[in-house]
């Protein structure tokens, strides 16, 4: 009698806690959550980035009159820090952390005929906004592979247009372009779980990582991908530094 | 008694937990096997099409360009331009539905019957309606998108108003404001500043529509068709949707103005001549055309 009773009580308690964790989401995890930090560097001389001739659109060329635009394939900061690298967890995520969706709503802006940011990392199903700050018409045209479950679309944004709100259904690296300004090229990097993007010094912090052992992947549009094993203690932080070779 | 109750509750909770944890993974699975594909149906009016009935027609008339697998890689692929549609992607130009959504069965049915001007796709009006509806189902069976995803809701088109000189002038303002001329040119001759660098979703060069050469738009040439083209966008091409940026009433104004750019005779063209309408000035400040 008492054995069965105990078992039933323990089971319901476990189930209740699990349900609570599911409902409350991040709040319950926050206490034990850690982070993964590090820097991404480019080894060697940074490749030369070609300048962009925006002469076809007077608005764009005027916006870049003093600061000529250039390609953003490699953006290298002081000390060789590599910007626009997306870092995310490819192995080791379990339980609620793996199925949570980030709740922030990042903005992908079209400013001075360039994409800001050049690379936007997103969680699956995370909403994001596409805005325009320009006095010229853009069309925002992401090119996912429809076989993955992400569907391509193409919307215009004339001057003063309202933001476009979207999300992606599946993990994928999605190029995005403006057909009117062919130099405009950016990326939506859709991943599952916590992620971070390296800043102008190549530094990054992946927050909201529950304790455990993980494989962290660093993705760069031209330099490729690298992986590292990282262990995060409860409330602590793991560290992973990546170095890409300049091609 | 107490013991029984506990047992009952623990099993209820246990089941709830299993459901809660199992949901995220099972929701992503979609069944897409041969059986499901072959049983795909299409509905046009009161006709029901069956994919398996269209196989002989497809293999006789369509396979040369669209290929056995529907990937647009038939034996004529190298000589055909624009390239045949890849049905596996489930992305279509001519839709009544918003950008990024699947077309309706009626849209595909219309495309087969209409054909595509300035391409190798002829008008297949020689098929009976039943055959065409069957072919729609066959076209759908190539793409996994049709399993689990529904077509978009067609955009609403208000009744067409009467053409007036004021509306044509208002349409000219819209043409300037949303900058149609960036690709189509101020005279609609397909020679705007961005025209030369346009590519389709697969990276192949593509030209913007030339209104002045007397051609028919690919997705139909009634006023309603033209309305639909710029309000839904032509997916897979650089032509975006303007649904968020042109109001329904303004859209009709734009349709009337686009008519004035076409070489075909029309009421709108005569009115524009009387008004002495000039092409838009790309350098004019906003709202001062």
Flag whether B59 is in a domain.
yes
One domain for residues A63 and A103 = yes
B90 vs A: CB within 8 A: yes
| Shared domain check, A49 and A25 | no
CA distance to A89, A212, A230, A246, B20, per residue, from A93 (Å): 7, 8, 12, 31, 18
Q: Are residues B128 and B169 in the same domain?
A: no
Give chain B's domain count: 2
What's the pLDDT tens digit per position in A17-70? 444 444 444 434 455 688 999 999 999 889 999 999 999 899 999 999 998 899
Looking at the fold, whether B171 and B264 belong to one and the same domain comes out as yes
Give the mean pLDDT of B260-267.
94
Are A244 and A40 in contact, with CB atoms under 8 Å apart? yes
Mean per-residue pLDDT of chain B: 88
User: What mean pLDDT, rounded, does chain A reach?
Assistant: 87
Closest approach of A137 to chain B, Cα-based (Å) = 6
d(CA B9, CA A177): 55
Question: What is the tens place of the pLDDT at every residue in B115-168?
Answer: 999 999 999 999 999 999 999 999 999 998 888 789 999 999 999 999 999 999
Predicted confidence band of residue A2 (pLDDT cuts 50, 70, 90) = low
Domain assignment present for B151: no
Q: Which of B113, B146, B179 is the last residue of a domain?
A: B146
Contact yes or no for B193 and A57 at CB 8 A = yes
Q: Is residue B14 part of a domain?
A: no
Q: Which residues pair with A227 in a beta bridge?
A: A217
**Within this chain, do residues A55 and A122 fall inside the same structural domain, yes or no?**
yes
Which of B143, B238, B245 faces A179 most closely, judged by CB atoms? B238
- For A25, the domain range is 1-30
B212 shares a domain with B111: no
Given a cut of 70, whether residue B215 has pLDDT beyond it is yes
> Higher-confidence residue: A13 or B186?
B186
- Considering the domain architecture, whether residues B171 and B229 belong to the same structural domain is answered as yes
Sequence-separated contacts (24+) of A156-160 with Cβ below 8 Å: A156/B178, A156/B233, A156/B240, A156/B241, A156/B242, A156/B244, A156/B245, A157/A110, A157/A130, A157/A132, A157/B245, A158/B177, A158/B178, A158/B179, A158/B245, A159/A132, A159/A134, A159/A135, A159/B177, A159/B286, A160/A132
Would B108 be classed as within a structural domain? yes
Phi and psi at residue A181, to the nearest 5°: -120, 90
Higher-pLDDT residue of A1, B213: B213
In B205-247, alpha helices (H):
223-232
- Domain of residue B116, residue span: 34-146
> Does the pLDDT at position B31 exceed 80?
no
Q: Which residues of B touch A154 (CB under 8 A)?
A: 99-100, 233, 235, 237-241
Chain A residues whose C-beta is within 8 A of a chain B C-beta are 1, 4-5, 7-9, 11-12, 15-16, 18-19, 22, 56-58, 99, 135-137, 139-141, 143, 146-147, 151-159, 161-162, 164, 179-182
Q: List chain B residues with CB under 8 Å of A135.
A: 286
Pair (A22, A51) in one structural domain: no
Q: Do A109 and A171 have their domain in common?
A: yes
pLDDT of residue B165: 96
Instruction: Examine the domain organization and report whether A107 and A185 are in the same domain.
Output: yes
The confidence score (pLDDT) of residue A9 equals: 52
Q: Which site among B2, B12, B100 would you substitute to test the A interface, given the most A Cβ atoms closer than 10 Å to its Cβ?
A: B100
| Domain CATH code at residue A61 | 2.60.40.420
CA distance, residue B236 to nearest chain A CA (Å): 8
- B82-119 per-position pLDDT tens digit: 999 999 999 999 999 999 999 999 999 999 999 999 99
ipTM: 0.82
Could you tell me if B137 and B180 lie in one domain? Answer: no
Distance, in angstroms, between A176 CA and closest chain B CA?
11
Is residue A13 over pLDDT 70? no
Average pLDDT of A90-105?
81
Answer yes or no: is pLDDT of B172 > 90: yes
- Give the chain A residue whose CA is nearest to the CA of B179: A137
Mean pLDDT of A62-81: 91
Indicate whether B103 and B177 sit together in one domain: no
Which chain A residues are closer than 8 Å to B286 by Cβ? 135, 159
Nearest neighbour of B201 by CB, restricted to A7, A135, A143: A143
Inside any domain, residue B21: no
Domain tally, chain A:
2
User: Is pLDDT of B279 > 70?
Assistant: yes
Same domain, A104 and A47: yes
pLDDT at A27: 39
Same domain, A165 and A201: yes
pLDDT band at B15 (very low <50, low <70, confident <90, very high): very low
**Which chain A residues are within 8 Å of B14, Cβ to Cβ?**
11, 15
The angle formed by the CA atoms of residues B103, B108 and B109, to the nearest 5 degrees, is 140
A180: closest CA of chain B, how far (Å): 5
CATH number for the domain spanning B121: value is 1.10.760
Instruction: Write the CB contacts of B205 (distance below 8 Å, at least 6 apart in sequence).
Output: B198, B199
Q: What's the confidence (pLDDT) of residue A197?
A: 96
Q: What is the CATH number of the domain that holds B226?
A: 1.10.760.10
Chain centroid, CA B108 distance in Å: 9
| Domain-ending residue, one of B112, B146, B180 | B146
Mean pLDDT across B51-68: 95
Query: Does the pLDDT value for residue B12 go beyond 50?
Result: no
Same domain, B80 and B129: yes
CB atoms within 10 A of CB A238: 22
């Amino acid at each position: 009698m008492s054995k069965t009773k105990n078992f039933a009580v323990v089971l319901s308690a476990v189930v209740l806690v699990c349900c609570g964790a599911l409902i409350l989401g991040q709040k319950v995890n926050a206490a034990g959550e850690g982070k993964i930090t590090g820097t991404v560097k480019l080894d060697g001389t940074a490749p030369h980035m070609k300048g962009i001739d925006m002469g076809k659109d007077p608005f764009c060329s005027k916006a870049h009159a003093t600061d000529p635009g250039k390609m953003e394939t490699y953006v290298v900061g002081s000390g060789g820090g590599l910007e626009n690298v997306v870092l995310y967890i490819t192995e080791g995520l379990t339980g609620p952390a793996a199925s949570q969706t980030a709740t922030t709503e990042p903005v992908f802006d079209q400013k001075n005929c360039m994409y800001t940011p050049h690379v936007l990392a997103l969680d699956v199903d995370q909403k994001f906004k596409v805005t325009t700050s320009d006095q010229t018409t853009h069309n925002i045209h992401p090119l996912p592979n429809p076989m993955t479950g992400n569907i391509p679309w193409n919307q215009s944004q004339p001057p003063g247009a309202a933001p476009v709100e979207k999300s992606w259904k599946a993990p994928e690296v999605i190029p995005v372009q403006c057909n009117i300004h062919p130099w405009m090229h950016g990326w939506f990097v859709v991943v599952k779980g916590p992620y971070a993007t390296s800043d102008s010094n190549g530094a990054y912090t992946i927050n909201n990582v529950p304790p455990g052992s993980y494989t962290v992947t660093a993705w760069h549009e031209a330099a490729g991908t690298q992986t590292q094993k990282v262990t995060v203690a409860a409330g602590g932080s793991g560290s992973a530094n990546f170095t890409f070779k300049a091609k | 008694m107490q013991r029984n109750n506990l047992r009952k509750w623990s099993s209820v909770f246990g089941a709830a937990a299993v459901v809660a944890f199992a949901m995220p993974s099972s929701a992503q699975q979609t069944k897409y096997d041969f059986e499901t594909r072959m049983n795909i149906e299409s509905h046009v009016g009161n006709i029901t099409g069956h994919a398996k009935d269209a196989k002989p027609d497809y293999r006789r008339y369509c396979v040369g360009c669209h290929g056995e697998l529907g990937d647009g890689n038939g034996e004529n692929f190298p000589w055909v331009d624009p390239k045949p549609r890849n049905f596996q992607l489930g992305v279509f130009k001519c839709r009544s539905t918003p950008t990024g959504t699947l077309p309706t069965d009626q849209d595909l049915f219309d495309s087969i019957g209409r054909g595509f001007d300035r391409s190798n796709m002829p008008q297949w009006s020689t098929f009976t309606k039943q055959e065409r509806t069957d072919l729609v189902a066959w076209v759908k069976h190539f793409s996994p998108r049709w399993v689990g995803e529904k077509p978009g809701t067609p955009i609403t088109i208000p009744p067409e108003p009467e053409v007036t000189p004021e509306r044509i002038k208002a349409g000219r303002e819209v043409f300037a404001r949303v900058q149609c001329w960036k690709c189509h040119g101020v005279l609609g001759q397909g020679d705007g500043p961005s025209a030369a660098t346009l590519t389709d979703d697969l990276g192949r060069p593509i030209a913007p529509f030339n209104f002045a050469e007397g051609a028919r738009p690919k997705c139909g040439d009634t006023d309603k068709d033209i309305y639909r083209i710029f309000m839904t966008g032509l997916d897979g091409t650089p032509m975006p949707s303007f649904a968020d940026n042109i109001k329904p009433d303004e859209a009709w104004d734009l349709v009337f103005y686009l008519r004035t750019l076409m070489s075909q005779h029309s009421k709108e063209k005569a009115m524009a001549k009387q008004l002495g309408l000039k092409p838009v000035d790309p350098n004019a400040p906003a709202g001062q055309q």
